[in-house]
């Protein structure tokens, strides 16, 4: 049964990537006024009205991997084969292969987002558990209010405020870039500290606006678990409170948080487009925004695809570990009667 679960998840992850790649082909090719028309119009404009269509088509092909005068299914097969080989076309703005630009940017986005995700959930879960244990206390009520308030601030608003206050006004933190130009790149302490210094504000804007909702979710879960009969039984059996808190309450309250975490993965990587633009942090979202700004469709679609793939992998990993810690995953549900 468990083997089945893994196989199903793996198949689904692969199929999702395939579906998104097909979708991006559809968007590139089929939409009226889409990228191909745009490139063609630009070429014709540059070379006068009697532009050689053959040349236009091959230019379009070299940028987007799709040759407009081929039949549709051949275009599709071409596009997909190029993608599998890691070729996402050529950026029209940077005049470099898209995959090269993005491969260099992706680790930085993962760096910022992984730390943000870990901190958001660590703070949220701890705070939520404490709130649930002293439910109704003044600490609980005020923390609930603060959590709701912080959660109603969009992360980009927090980002703009932080960059204004701590970046431009007080100059405590850099207002852009991944690391200073004067440090040597490598696994030395100075470089790491410098990279953290640059990533600090983006991470803070995500964590501060994000932990509240997780804390409230954890609080709700814990309160529900605390009311369950098996907790009462555990207490009557005289189990140490520490064991009950961790093994019984903690474990059962944290399991439903997994769904929230998977949603957060998509939310964070998606949000990188706005966040990295505000902090001029050259990660993958930053390049997607550059692609939009300069109508550089290959770069934009490449970034879109890669962000999606990153999210699919993130959710896939989360799914697999979920199967490890929740023995119920992948067992129930399949044998229901169909009406």
Contact set with another protein (CB under 8 A): 12, 15-16, 19-20, 24, 27, 31, 33-35, 148-149, 151-154, 156-157, 160-161, 163-164, 168, 216, 220, 263, 266-267, 269-271, 273-274, 277, 288-289, 292, 300-301, 303-304, 307-308, 311-312, 315, 333, 336-339
> SS3 of 196, please?
helix
- Give the up-direction half-sphere exposure of residue 313: CA atoms within 13 A in the CB hemisphere: 9
> SS3 of 170, please?
coil
Phi first, then psi: give them for residue 90, nearest 5 degrees. Answer: -115, 135
Phi first, then psi: give them for residue 97, nearest 5 degrees. Answer: -60, 135
Angle, in degrees to the nearest 10, between helices 297-325 and 2-30: 170
d(C-alpha 58, C-alpha 51), whole Å: 12
Q: 43 or 223, CB closer to another protein?
A: 223
Whole-angstrom CA distances from 308 to 136, 158, 270 are 41, 25, 8
The closest of 204, 180, 208, 203 to 192, measured between CA atoms, is 180
Whole-angstrom CA distances from 270 to 273, 283, 285, 304 are 6, 12, 8, 9
Q: What share of the chain is helix, strand, coil (3-state, %, to 5)?
A: 75, 0, 25
Query: Could you tell me which residues come within 8 angstroms of residue 91 by beta carbon, excluding any fewer than 6 positions away?
Result: 97, 98, 101, 291, 296, 298, 299, 302
DSSP assignment of 241-276, as one string?
HHHIIIIIIIHHHHTTHHHHHHHHHHHHHHHHHHHH
């Amino acid at each position: 049964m468990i083997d089945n679960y893994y196989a199903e998840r793996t198949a689904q992850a692969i199929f999702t990537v395939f579906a998104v790649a097909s979708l991006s082909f559809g968007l590139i090719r089929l939409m009226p006024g889409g990228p191909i028309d745009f490139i063609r119009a630009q070429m014709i404009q540059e070379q006068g009205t009697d532009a050689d269509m053959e040349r236009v088509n091959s230019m379009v092909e070299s940028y987007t991997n799709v040759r407009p005068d081929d039949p549709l299914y051949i275009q599709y097969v071409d596009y997909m084969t190029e993608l599998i080989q890691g070729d996402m076309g050529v950026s029209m703005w940077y005049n470099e292969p898209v995959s090269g630009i993005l491969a260099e940017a992706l680790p930085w986005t993962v760096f910022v987002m992984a730390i943000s995700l870990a901190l958001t959930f660590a703070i949220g879960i701890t705070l939520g558990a404490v709130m649930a244990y002293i439910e109704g206390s003044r600490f609980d009520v005020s923390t609930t209010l603060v959590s709701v308030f912080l959660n109603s601030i969009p992360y980009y608003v927090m980002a703009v405020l932080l960059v204004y206050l701590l970046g431009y006004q007080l100059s405590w933190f850099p207002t852009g870039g991944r690391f200073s130009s004067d440090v040597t790149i490598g696994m030395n302490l100075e470089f790491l500290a410098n990279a953290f210094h640059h990533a600090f504000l983006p991470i803070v804007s995500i964590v501060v606006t994000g932990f509240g909702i997780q804390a409230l979710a954890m609080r709700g879960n814990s309160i529900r678990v605390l009311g369950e009969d098996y907790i009462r039984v555990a207490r009557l059996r005289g189990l140490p409170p520490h064991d009950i808190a961790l093994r019984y309450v903690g474990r059962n309250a944290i399991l439903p948080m997994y769904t929230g975490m998977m949603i957060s993965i998509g939310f964070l990587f998606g949000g990188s487009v706005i966040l990295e633009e505000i902090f001029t942090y050259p990660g993958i979202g930053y390049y997607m925004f550059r692609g939009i700004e300069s109508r550089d469709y290959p770069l934009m679609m490449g970034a879109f695809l890669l962000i999606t793939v990153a999210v699919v992998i993130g959710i896939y990993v989360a799914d697999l570990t979920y199967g490890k810690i929740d023995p119920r995953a992948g067992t129930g549900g399949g044998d229901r009667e169909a009406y």
